[in-house]
């Protein structure tokens, strides 16, 4: 694998979006910055807003909750992040994630 284009350490990921090679640390930073750029460009959220995050317990909703929480603390947006999940009533389908 090629070196990370940002820090020159060994890359572990090739970004399909850009074709660039990045290490794990730079990927996380770059991804978080891209999320924040979209939020700001599209004016998705405003200061002191209540934001409901649909939580399935899977990786996508978990990463979204983590990034929004991290940005909220880093930039002091004052967001009130609320996690929401739906119990569909299907035995064994979402039992573990609902307990959390």
**Do 38 and 60 belong together in one domain?**
no
Domain hosting residue 6, numbered range: 1-44
**Do 32 and 72 belong together in one domain?**
no
**Do 40 and 68 belong together in one domain?**
no
In this prediction, residue 95 carries a pLDDT of 62
CB 85 within 8 A of CB 55: yes
**Do 87 and 60 belong together in one domain?**
yes
**Do 51 and 94 belong together in one domain?**
yes
DSSP secondary structure of 41-85: HTT---TT-EEEEE--SSHHHHHHHHHHHHHHHHHT---EEEEE-
CB 1 within 8 A of CB 21: yes
CB 100 within 8 A of CB 57: yes
Q: Can you give the pTM of this predicted structure?
A: 0.82
**Do 14 and 32 belong together in one domain?**
yes
In this prediction, residue 99 carries a pLDDT of 65
**Do 49 and 93 belong together in one domain?**
yes
**Residuewise pLDDT in 10s, the chain (100 residues):** 899 999 999 999 999 989 999 999 999 999 999 999 999 999 999 999 999 999 988 899 999 999 999 999 999 999 999 999 887 777 776 666 666 5
**Do 20 and 53 belong together in one domain?**
no
In this prediction, residue 19 carries a pLDDT of 95
In this prediction, residue 96 carries a pLDDT of 67
In this prediction, residue 86 carries a pLDDT of 83
């Amino acid at each position: 694998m090629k070196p990370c284009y940002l820090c020159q350490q060994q890359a572990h990921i090739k970004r399909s979006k850009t074709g660039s090679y990045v290490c794990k640390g730079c990927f996380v930073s770059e991804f978080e910055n891209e999320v924040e750029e979209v939020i700001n460009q599209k004016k998705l959220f405003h200061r002191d807003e209540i934001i409901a995050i649909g939580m399935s317990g899977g990786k996508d909703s978990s990463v979204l909750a983590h990034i929004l929480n991290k940005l909220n603390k880093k930039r002091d947006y004052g967001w009130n992040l609320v996690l929401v999940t739906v119990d569909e009533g299907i035995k064994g389908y979402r039992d573990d994630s609902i307990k959390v």
